[in-house]
Amino acid sequence: MNLRESVEVAIEGLAANKMRAALTMLGVVIGVGAVIAMLAIARGAQEQTMQRIQQMGTNVLIVLSGQSRRGAVMGGFGSVQSLTLEDAEAIPERSQWVVKAVPEVRQNEQVKYGNRNTNTTIFGTTPDYPSVRDYKVREGKFFSRQDVRGNRKVAVIGPTAAQNLFDKSSPVGKWVRIKGSRFRVIGLMAPKGATSPFGDPDDQIFIPVTTAMRRVFGVQYVRAISAQAKSMATIDQANTEIEALLRKRHRLGDDKDSDFIIRNQAEYMEIAEETSRVFTHLLAGIASVSLLVGGIGIMNIMLVSVTERTREIGIRKAVGARRRDIMLQFLVESLVLSLMGGIVGILFGVLGSAVVGKMMDWSIVVSLQSIVLSFSFAAMVGVFFGLYPARQASLLNPIDALRYE
């Protein structure tokens, strides 16, 4: 019996027991579908995170305040207040590899307009922030250097905060109240992107950094400084230059650790990729358990099939069938079961991930690689778990098989 005849016999055998074949394939269907859906969700989350990191701005270095230490206990970044407005001004002035640098202070506050209010991020910075972090103003304008020097109470609002406060009407020219002080809205930002692990970039209100520090937050230090290097090729030189400059400004000797830390996009992307990789492997591993369970179901049904068809095996051997013919017949039957389950599982996984993405508003990316991987794994499951029943069938003694009742 050749391979084609074996496939035909396998399909006829499965067709004779449709319900049993369907229930047997169910484990493989669920396993393949789960693998594809989980990988699609993980891939979508990874791409969304990467887009958010890229939206932070091109060639950007983030300077953060350092960590405090109490004995063996380290505080988080920012627990040491070390960065000043003067540091932010000195970086582009004294660094040949840095184009611009902007200070950042932020804090969540309740903002009111009429009888509406919302809790949003108040973000103090300078006029160069939109160009450094790749923001666009959709309506009105961003505040100027004169506004920063004059500690003026002007604000540029993000679209999410504007929607919460003004609904569909234009916020430009209207007044909002932040911590008891009235601010005139002079601009509306263009949408930046959806909510991410880094927060919603559209749910912010930008005000001059001097106003934020002296009139709203009452602080003397900035939370971070974003510095834009001339290009991605010069980002390492800019990093070295900024570190040397700030250490000198902060009067840190060679024996002292820096009271700040510098991060760049490449580091954030590397961390995000590693986290996503671990997450993807974890999800794929969990989903693969269903495939293994489906494989055990196939082996169980194939052993039952061998028992039910013992006389058939005896007759085939009596008329000249070889051991490999019997083994091939049952192995092909097991493989057909798993492959049919794999095909249905692919449809189940693609449609299921699309439904989940629509319901949960998640980014879903179904890749050809995940489909090929899950389908190949389903085929291996069919071969692996069908091998033992096929071998048992081929080892049956024809005389004993013919006597079997």
Least confident segment among 19-33, 130-144, 168-182: 19-33
φ, ψ of residue 382 in degrees (nearest 5): -60, -45
Asked whether residue 197 carries a pLDDT value surpassing 60, the answer given is: no
Using CB atoms within 10 A of its CB, is residue 7 exposed (0-12), middle (13-18) or buried (19+)? middle
CA angle 277, 283, 284 (to 5 degrees): 85
Per-residue pLDDT at 2 exceeds 70: no
- Whether 333 shows a pLDDT value over 90: the answer reads no
Helices (H) and strands (E) in the chain, counts: 13, 12
**Residue bearing tokens 């971070």:** 224
> pLDDT of 58-104, one tens digit each?
689 999 987 655 544 444 555 568 899 999 999 999 999 999 999 99
Interior/surface letters 40-68, b for 16+ CB within 10 angstroms, e for the rest: bbbbbbbebbbebbebbbbbbbbbbbbbe
Does pLDDT of 381 surpass 80?
Answer: yes
111-121 tens-digit pLDDT: 999 999 999 99
Average pLDDT, the chain: 85
Q: What is the pTM of this model?
A: 0.63
The rounded distance, in Å, linking the Cα atoms of 82 and 64 is 9
Residue 390 pLDDT exceeds 80: yes
343-369 tens-digit pLDDT: 999 999 999 888 888 887 778 888 888
Q: What is the mean pLDDT of residues 2-16?
A: 73
Q: Is pLDDT of 237 > 50?
A: yes
More confident residue, 195 or 240: 240
Q: Average pLDDT for residues 385-397, to the nearest whole number?
A: 86
Q: What is the pLDDT of residue 304?
A: 83
Instruction: Read off the pLDDT of residues 120-167 as tens digits, 9 standing for 90 and up.
Output: 999 999 999 999 988 999 999 999 999 999 999 999 999 999 999 999
> Residue holding tokens 């063996």?
72
What are 244-299's pLDDT values in tens digits? Answer: 999 999 999 888 888 899 988 767 777 777 877 787 777 777 777 877 888 888 88
Lowest mean pLDDT, pick from 65-69, 310-314, 384-388: 65-69
Domain residue extents for the chain: 3-51+271-403, 81-258
